[in-house]
Amino acid sequence: MTARREGADGWSRPRRRRRFRLTREGKAFVGVTIGVGAAAVNTGNNLLYLLLGLLLSLVLANGVLSDLALRRVRLRRRLPQRLFVGRTALVEIGLRNDKRRLPSYALEVRDPTLADIATARCHSLKIAPASDRAVACPVVPVRRGPLRLEALELGTRYPFGLVEKWQPYDLPAEAIVYPALAPSETLDGSLQQEGPDAPHDAIGRGIEVASLRDYRDGDEARDIHWLRSASVGEIVVRERERDTTRTVSLLLDNRVTEPDDAPSRAAFEQTVSRTATLVARSLASGITVEVLTRGDRSPLVAGGSDPDPLWRFLALVDRVPADVAGPFPEARGEPYPLVSVGAPNAAARDAGARGLGAEPLKPRRGLRAKRSRTAQAGPTSEARR
C-alpha cells in the first residue's frame, strides 16, 4: 500500500495506478472492431483494412486523451460542520488542474468508501489549465455516529465514452453524524414557559410584577405605580419577581431489557432523535440543558449556546445491557425523564426512586399563581391596570 501525498494546503495527489473498464458502448465498439479485422484478414480487402485502422486509431486516441484528462489533477475534500441523519449535506470537492496548457474535461468524483450512505456523484465539465474549481457533492447519512472516509476516485469517459478510467486518491477524513431532528417534535409546556432571566418564586430584581406594596425608604422612583398611588392617596410601588436561569437534565434511558432486534433499535433511535430535538429547542428558549444516560453525562450547555456538544454526545451514545447498566448520575438541574426503550417508564421509575421526580416537569406555581388569583379578586393587581 502506498503512502498518501498531501500538500500543506490539503490538496492530494494520486499515488496508485489507474484502473479502467470498458463501457457498454466500448464493448460494442470492440466487437465491431474485431469483426472488421476478421473480415479484412479473410477477404484481403484494402477498404476493410483502412476501416480497421480507423477504428484502432479511435481506441488509441481515447486512451491517450483520457490519460491527459486525469494527469496532474489534485483533489481536496471539505466536510460540512454538521451532518444529520436523513438530511442532505453538501460536501465540497475541490479539483485543481496543474497542467499549464491543457484543460481537463468531463471529470467525475465519487467516494468508494460510502457503502452505507446515499450519495450522488460530482461532475466537472471543464477545468482550465493552471486553475481550480469546487463542486458540491450531496451526501445523505443514514445512521448517527462516527463517519470515516478513506479515499476519493477521479474518473472520466472522455472523449468518446469507450473506456471509463478511475484514479484513486487517499483522502482520509472523519466526522460525527448527529441524530435526526424531528420537525414535528414539540416541547413540554414546562420547558416552553421559562428560559434565561425567567421569573422565580422569590422577590428581587426582575421584569415580572409580583404584587403591590407601600413605599419604603430606598425604593426606586421607577417602581412607583403612579395610577394606584393617585387612587389610594399613598405611594405604592411594584414588587417584582427575581429573575433566574433555568437548568434541565434530560434523562435518556439507554438500558436494554428486550432482545436486540430491529424494532427495539428503531425505537431507541427515535428516542435519541426526540432528545436531540428537545435539546435544540430548549437551548433556543434559553434553558440550560444537560443529558444523562446510564453511567454517563453530557456537558452542561448554557441556554442560548450552540447545541453541538450535546448533539455530539447523543451521536455517540449507545445502548448497554441491563446487567451492566449503571444508575443515572446526579442531576444538576430539574430532571426530565424521557421514554425509554426496554421498559417505557424505566427512567421515570429510577428517577423517582432516587428522589429526582418520577413525572415530567410541571409548570411551577408560586407568586405568579397568587398574582393571578389577586388579579381576579381586586383592582390592586397589575394585570387589572
**Structural domain boundaries, residue 286:** 247-353
pLDDT at 263: 81
Within-domain flag for 285: yes
Examine residue 377 and state whether it is found in any structural domain, yes or no: no
3, HSE (Cβ side, Cα atoms, 13 Å): 3
Q: Which residue has the cell 491543457?
A: 102
Q: What is the CATH number of the domain that holds 104?
A: 2.60.40.10
Residues 23 and 162 in one domain: yes
- Co-location of 170 and 254 in the same domain: no
pLDDT string in tens for the chain (385-residue length): 333 445 545 677 776 678 888 999 999 999 999 999 999 999 988 999 999 999 999 999 999 999 999 999 999 989 898 999 988 888 889 999 999 999 999 999 988 777 555 566 788 889 999 999 999 888 888 889 998 888 888 999 999 999 999 988 888 888 999 999 876 544 454 555 444 455 455 555 555 677 788 888 777 788 888 888 888 888 888 887 655 567 888 888 888 876 667 788 888 888 899 899 889 888 887 888 999 998 888 999 888 889 999 999 999 998 888 788 888 888 888 887 865 444 444 444 444 434 333 333 333 444 344 444 444 444 443 433 3
CA distance 63 to 160: 10
366, part of any domain: no
154 and 14 in a common domain: yes
User: What is the domain count for the chain?
Assistant: 2
pLDDT at res. 14: 75
- Asked if the structure places residue 229 within a domain, the reply is no
Rounded to whole angstroms, the Cα distance separating 193 from 362 reads: 10
Structural domain contains residue 217: no
In a domain, 341, yes or no: yes
Examine the fold and report which residue of 143, 160, 178 is the final residue of a domain before the chain moves on.
178
Based on the domain organization, do 150 and 255 belong to the same domain? no
DSSP 86: T
Same domain, 145 and 262: no
d(CA 12, CA 73): 9
154 with 300, same domain: the answer is no
My answer on whether 150 and 9 are in the same domain is yes
The reply to whether 168 and 251 lie within a common domain is: no
- What is the enclosing helix (H) or strand (E) of 121? none
Do residue 288 and residue 156 come from a single domain?
no
Q: What is the pLDDT of residue 173?
A: 86
Task: Evaluate whether 130 touches 98 at the Cβ level (below 8 Å).
Answer: yes
Would you call the peptide bond into 360 cis, given omega within 30 degrees of 0 as the criterion? Answer: no
Give the bridge partners for 244, in sequence order. 198
Q: How far apart are CA 100 and CA 2, in angstroms?
A: 27
Contact status, residue 220 vs residue 309, Cβ threshold 8 Å: no
Across-strand partners of 213? Answer: 237
Among 146, 178, 210, the domain boundary falls at: 178
Same domain, 19 and 141: yes
Among the candidates 178, 208, 235, a domain finishes at 178
Burial grade of 337 (CB within 10 A; 0-12, 13-18, 19 or more): buried
Report which residue type is found at 88: T
Distance in angstroms (rounded) separating the CA atoms of residues 108 and 96: 13
Distance, in Å, from the CA atom of 382 to the CA atom of 234, rounded to the nearest integer, reads 16
pLDDT for the residue 179: 93
**Structural domain contains residue 112:** yes
CA 85 to chain centre: 7
* Residue 183 within a domain: no
Residues 252 and 138 in one domain: no
Q: What is the pLDDT of residues 275-331, one digit of tens each?
A: 998 898 888 878 889 999 988 889 998 888 899 999 999 999 988 887 888 888 888
Do 153 and 285 lie in one domain? The reply is no
